[in-house]
């Protein structure tokens, strides 16, 4: 850039700032009560931005962006077979060692309606009835986990669906007996996670707090 061009930029910059939309947005937000509500909603959305999947990006850029930047929440179930084996602590230990944080957690006995809702995507498949019988056969531990690239990280910690194919050192390699009794569940996408956690947790349980709520 030449000195002349730099001089022109120096004159233009304050004019651009003066007439740019940012100060206007702030002005409108503080003068109109209705518009300030919309402004508040926008701020709330921005503060939750790290928890959103970057669906607006093309897929290659999205996986890169998610891997580098985005915190993701995933939904986990320690299934009845693992609870019966008394390995809840071991599984949670592996979760934390993988850098995932437990956001919400509860030991409970799923009702058939809850299990059917969580596994709704498999409704109609031949193993669905057995899956629901098994998932309601004893207590489970449901949890929401959070971390960078959390969905994929937890799937890696779990290992393959079939324990015979699960990599050594994974939860399923060490604790699952068969494909049908495979110790843990983990969501396969951010969208599934959001849906599945809603089957057993409330928004209050999940504790998404926007900064203003800390004020009082
Ligand atoms: P999950 O949902 O439980 O985390 O397991 P996943 O993603 O690894 O596997 P998915 O295909 O979603 O299957 C859900 C559960 O259904 C049982 N299953 N049985 N052919 C079979 O007998 C069969 N296929 C799936 C498994 O318990 C699996 O975890
Ligand atoms: Mg699945």
Taking the CA of residue 186 as reference, the ligand 1 atom at the shortest distance is 4
pTM, two decimals, is 0.72
**Ligand 1 site-directed mutation target among 131, 135, 183, 184, most atoms within 8 Å of CB:** 131
User: Does residue 136 line the site of ligand 1, with CB under 6 A?
Assistant: no
Task: Report how far apart, in Å, the C-alpha atoms of 40 and of each of 21, 46, 86, 92, 202 are.
Answer: 17, 10, 47, 37, 23
Residues 91 and 198 reside in one and the same domain: yes
Active site annotation includes 122: no
Q: 36 or 116: which carries more pLDDT confidence?
A: 116
- Computed over every residue of the chain, the mean pLDDT equals 82
User: Does residue 63 line the site of ligand 1, with CB under 6 A?
Assistant: no
Structure tokens that stand for 46 in this block: 């921005």
Beta bridge partners of 73: 146
**Is residue 55 assigned to a domain?**
no
Residues 33 and 83 reside in one and the same domain: no
pLDDT digits (tens, 9 = 90+) for 140-153: 999 999 999 999 99
**Is residue 92 assigned to a domain?**
yes
Taking the CA of residue 79 as reference, the ligand 1 atom at the shortest distance is 3
CA pair distance 91, 183, nearest whole angstrom: 9
- pLDDT higher than 50, residue 47: no
Q: Among 22-36, 59-73, 120-134, which range has the highest average pLDDT?
A: 120-134
pLDDT digits (tens, 9 = 90+) for 179-206: 999 999 999 999 999 999 999 999 999 8
Residues 92 and 126 reside in one and the same domain: yes
User: Does residue 163 line the site of ligand 1, with CB under 6 A?
Assistant: no
Residues 113 and 148 reside in one and the same domain: yes
**Is residue 152 assigned to a domain?**
yes
**Is residue 57 assigned to a domain?**
no
Q: What is the pLDDT of residue 61?
A: 72
**Is residue 110 assigned to a domain?**
yes
Residues 130 and 181 reside in one and the same domain: yes
Indicate which residue of 122, 175, 185, 214 is catalytic. 185
Q: What is the pLDDT of residue 112?
A: 98
User: Does residue 160 line the site of ligand 1, with CB under 6 A?
Assistant: no
Structure tokens that stand for 136 in this block: 């309601």
Q: Domain span at residue 21? A: 3-47
- Average the pLDDT over 130-149 and give the result: 97
CA 104, distance to chain mean position in Å, is 12
The secondary structure of residue 52, as a DSSP letter, is S
- Domain with 183 in it: what CATH number? 3.30.70.141
Sequence length of the chain is 216
**Ligand 1 site-directed mutation target among 161, 166, 175, 178, most atoms within 8 Å of CB:** 161
The count of structural domains within the chain is 2
Residues 89 and 174 reside in one and the same domain: yes
Taking the CA of residue 185 as reference, the ligand 1 atom at the shortest distance is 4
Residues 159 and 127 reside in one and the same domain: yes
Residues 187 and 149 reside in one and the same domain: yes
Residues 118 and 22 reside in one and the same domain: no
Residues 151 and 95 reside in one and the same domain: yes
Q: What is the pLDDT of residue 91?
A: 98
User: Does residue 172 line the site of ligand 1, with CB under 6 A?
Assistant: no
């Amino acid at each position: 850039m030449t000195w002349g061009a730099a001089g022109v930029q120096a004159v233009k910059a304050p004019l651009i700032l003066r007439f740019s939309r940012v100060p206007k947005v702030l002005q409108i937000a503080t003068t109109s009560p209705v518009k300030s509500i919309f402004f508040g909603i926008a701020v709330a959305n921005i503060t939750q931005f790290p928890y959103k999947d970057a669906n607006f990006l093309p897929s290659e850029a999205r996986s890169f962006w998610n891997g580098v930047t985005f915190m993701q929440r995933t939904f986990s179930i320690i299934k009845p077979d693992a609870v019966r084996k008394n390995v809840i602590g071991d599984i949670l230990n592996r979760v934390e060692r993988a850098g995932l944080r437990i956001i919400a957690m509860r030991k409970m006995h799923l009702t058939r309606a809850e299990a059917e809702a969580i596994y709704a995507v498999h409704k109609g498949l031949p193993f669905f009835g057995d899956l629901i019988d098994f998932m309601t056969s004893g207590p489970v531990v449901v949890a929401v986990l959070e971390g960078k690239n959390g969905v994929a990280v937890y799937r890696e910690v779990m290992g393959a669906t079939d324990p015979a194919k699960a990599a050594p050192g994974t939860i399923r390699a060490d604790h699952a007996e068969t494909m049908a009794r495979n110790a843990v569940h983990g969501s396969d996408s951010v969208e599934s996670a959001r849906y599945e956690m809603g089957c057993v947790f409330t928004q209050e349980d999940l504790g998404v707090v926007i900064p203003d709520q800390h004020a009082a």
